[in-house]
Structure 1
């Protein structure tokens, strides 16, 4: 079988690319997906108890008119809109997010430690060389100690000394000493920072509803349950695990870039084409895994928070989402149950026993006041998923590795995009991921420049 455009992966990037290709009149398009469902890391699942869960706390916000219009067309108005309410659990109290803008909620001694470290002569003045040094350079030693350092280790499962900081951009709110002092003295909160301050969410079906509907539009152009075994750049062919061979003119791959180099090309018919330099570059790409625990609880409580951050060690998870607040239909019995969705990372630097994480998650919910001890008897659902590829970690060697791998692939008609295909966390939100595929299609057909994914 031969197609003009072959796409590996029916996640946001692959589906976005296929959709745009068909919009542009290209119909020799095929998407191969290893799973029995579309959506990739943005898929959603309904458990046996009737709760709906995402693979982590996704929300729909956008930097792109195209993406907004696509979501509108797919959902047809069947979504809810929320103002973000986020908080940080620390010192047995809740601090509004962003933490660094709202330290007035801390105990007085912690407030002073944070403010003192921001004063002239106290903050690090030498330019940072890594993420850990950036904490103190920007936030001072106090905020670094209480939030930035412990929270980021829980998220990335990577020591901050082993990460770069140039990726940050709009991902982290930097601190302003005058604003911190003003908020302290006048007892003000600053909670509106960030691109996801206003977000949307499907009324039913979770985030995955968006991509289920997008895949349905593409019909038989999406082939599920079809994992790829090998990619042969020399013959421009993909070999599937069930014995099919599909040739192509252009290949977009949205799966993990290290697997593409190491296993799909490097262990297949074209293994000799992958030299030591490429293998070494792929080995420089770091990532974590994420365990998502969904805990459905009978009964409700008055809590309008969307999601919460947990820098302390009394809970394994770094983030918890009140998923029932995103849509009541995420609970099996809307209005009568809570859906608590917790995320815990792991890596070689931060190993976790996955088979005990559900119990530890429930213990952490009690420790952080998200569950009263009596409520554990009212748990109606325990659902979990462990994804080996959670976040691509921005390490100092990442960009050099990408500058080695990506031009080689493109010289052989292969384009790698998406959260792990592009391996750039700063361009891996849902809207970014869809638009990476859309812009790639525009480049292939119209010669347009890609602006979201750049080396």
Structure 2
């Protein structure tokens, strides 16, 4: 079969592209999805006990009017809006996020260590060459030791010295010594930083509900259970493991870029295969732990929490029942803890042990009383091989080989792993990469979110 526009992957980027093509009056397009469902890493699942889980802690916030309007049309009033309340567990206490602005909550010795590291002359003044050096230069050794170093290793499963820091942008709050001291002396909290300090979430169905509804609009143009295994850029054909061959005029890939270049492309140049081998990623294990709330329990208003220390395997826990009570089987009566643990060759984990370690970590972190472990009603788990694209030191040079090489073949690769740029991998970024690709294909409008520089 043949199509004008072929899209690999029915995740946020692929669905964004397909939806925009349809809006622009294009009907000759097709989406190939390896799974039996849409959504990619933004899919949601309902377990056998009636709890709904995401693949990690997604929230809806936006930099784009188009994305906002799309969410309005998909969800309408069937969504909730929250003020972010997030905390860090360290030194056997809780510190409001962002850590560096709220160190007054630390024990005195740790508090002084953090302040001392910020004092004039105590931070390196040479230009940093990697993420670890950037952390020391910006935050000082105290904040680095108590939060930034251990947390970033837990989330990326990569030593910070093997990562670049150009991806930071708005994702990490830098530090102001004057503000830190003011907050300590005046006993003020500073919790409003960041683009996600308010966020929205679907009333029912988890994050995946967004993309189920979007996919429903495109149902006749999506082929599920089709796993790509070969792309012939010269003949402009894509073949799947199931035996389907599709000819195309334009191709958008949203699957992992390294797999595309290394495994799928026929006659891929050696330089592209080598570049693909220099891209790195982590894997993520998501554990969902659900149980009844105690009748006299004080509600916990927190949205999510960060865990830099080694007494728990996870780097983040989301109070998923606070995102929407409908994420539980009995809304308003149950708690749902969604816990994320990363792993890689730098940070190996035995996935088969992680559920038990997760439950123990909830106990260690004072989120679950030890005498309530036997009350747990559901234990849901999912391990995803591709969790986050790591901004490793070799990333940009690799992308500068891969993306122009694909462009020369008439292929664009976008999305969290299709583009491999974490700094433009939020949900809104991912959808808009697909939207902007469609606009470029149809009308020649330059892409803005993902650029080849």
Question: Does residue 276 in structure 1 map to residue 298 in structure 2?
Answer: no
Query: What residue is the counterpart of 1:181 in the other structure?
Result: 181
**What CA distance in whole angstroms lies between the structure 2 residues aligned with 1:224 and 1:331?**
28
Which of 276, 279, 284 lines up with 1:285 in the alignment? 279
Name whichever of 418-427 and 274-283 sits farther off: 274-283
Question: Does residue 436 in structure 1 map to residue 430 in structure 2?
Answer: no
Matches for 1:349-388 after TM superposition, within 5 Å: 349-388=346-385
**What CA distance in whole angstroms lies between the structure 2 residues aligned with 1:197 and 1:104?**
21
Query: What residue is the counterpart of 1:295 in the other structure?
Result: 289
Question: Does residue 343 in structure 1 map to residue 337 in structure 2?
Answer: no
Which of 412, 415, 418 lines up with 1:418 in the alignment? 415
Which of 393, 398, 402 lines up with 2:395 in the alignment? 398
**What CA distance in whole angstroms lies between the structure 2 residues aligned with 1:175 and 1:235?**
53
**What CA distance in whole angstroms lies between the structure 2 residues aligned with 1:387 and 1:337?**
26
Where in structure 2 are there 5+ consecutive unaligned residues?
Answer: none
**What CA distance in whole angstroms lies between the structure 2 residues aligned with 1:240 and 1:166?**
37
**What CA distance in whole angstroms lies between the structure 2 residues aligned with 1:132 and 1:141?**
10
* 1:216 Cα offset (Å): 0.1
* 1:176 Cα offset (Å): 0.2
Matches for 1:50-449 after TM superposition, within 5 Å: 50-265=50-265, 270=266, 273-300=267-294, 301=297, 302-449=299-446
Report the 3-state secondary structure (helix = DSSP H, G, I; strand = E; otherwise coil) of the residue aligned with 1:57.
coil
**What CA distance in whole angstroms lies between the structure 1 residues aligned with 2:155 and 2:423?**
15
* 1:99 Cα offset (Å): 0.3
The one-character-per-residue Cα deviations of 1:226-245 (angstroms, maximum 9, x if unpaired) are: 11121110100000111111
**What CA distance in whole angstroms lies between the structure 1 residues aligned with 2:227 and 2:271?**
27
Report the 3-state secondary structure (helix = DSSP H, G, I; strand = E; otherwise coil) of the residue aligned with 1:25.
coil
**What CA distance in whole angstroms lies between the structure 2 residues aligned with 1:309 and 1:209?**
26
The one-character-per-residue Cα deviations of 1:325-357 (angstroms, maximum 9, x if unpaired) are: 000000011111100000000000000000000
**What CA distance in whole angstroms lies between the structure 2 residues aligned with 1:436 and 1:199?**
21
**What CA distance in whole angstroms lies between the structure 2 residues aligned with 1:170 and 1:180?**
19
* 1:125 Cα offset (Å): 1.2
The one-character-per-residue Cα deviations of 1:347-404 (angstroms, maximum 9, x if unpaired) are: 0000000000000000000000010011111101000100000000001111111110
* 1:188 Cα offset (Å): 0.2
**What CA distance in whole angstroms lies between the structure 2 residues aligned with 1:112 and 1:194?**
26
Task: Report the number of matched residues.
Answer: 449
Report the 3-state secondary structure (helix = DSSP H, G, I; strand = E; otherwise coil) of the residue aligned with 1:443.
helix
**What CA distance in whole angstroms lies between the structure 2 residues aligned with 1:218 and 1:77?**
22
**What CA distance in whole angstroms lies between the structure 1 residues aligned with 2:395 and 2:59?**
27
**What CA distance in whole angstroms lies between the structure 2 residues aligned with 1:124 and 1:143?**
14
**What CA distance in whole angstroms lies between the structure 2 residues aligned with 1:437 and 1:209?**
19
**What CA distance in whole angstroms lies between the structure 2 residues aligned with 1:102 and 1:404?**
42
**What CA distance in whole angstroms lies between the structure 2 residues aligned with 1:115 and 1:108?**
10
**What CA distance in whole angstroms lies between the structure 2 residues aligned with 1:150 and 1:14?**
35
The one-character-per-residue Cα deviations of 1:200-258 (angstroms, maximum 9, x if unpaired) are: 00000000000000000012101111111211101000001111110000000100000
- Two-structure CA RMSD over aligned residues (Å): 0.7
* 1:275 Cα offset (Å): 2.2
- TM-score, length basis structure 2: 0.98
Report the 3-state secondary structure (helix = DSSP H, G, I; strand = E; otherwise coil) of the residue aligned with 2:174.
coil
The one-character-per-residue Cα deviations of 1:37-68 (angstroms, maximum 9, x if unpaired) are: 00000000000000000000000000000000
The one-character-per-residue Cα deviations of 1:152-178 (angstroms, maximum 9, x if unpaired) are: 000000000100001100000000000
Matches for 1:30-49 after TM superposition, within 5 Å: 30-49=30-49
Where in structure 1 are there 5+ consecutive unaligned residues?
Answer: none
* 1:431 Cα offset (Å): 0.3
**What CA distance in whole angstroms lies between the structure 2 residues aligned with 1:37 and 1:453?**
26
Query: What residue is the counterpart of 2:9 in the other structure?
Result: 9
List structure 1 segments (4+ residues) > 2 angstroms apart after TM superposition: none
Name whichever of 404-413 and 319-328 sits farther off: 404-413
**What CA distance in whole angstroms lies between the structure 1 residues aligned with 2:325 and 2:142?**
39
Question: Does residue 23 in structure 1 map to residue 17 in structure 2?
Answer: no
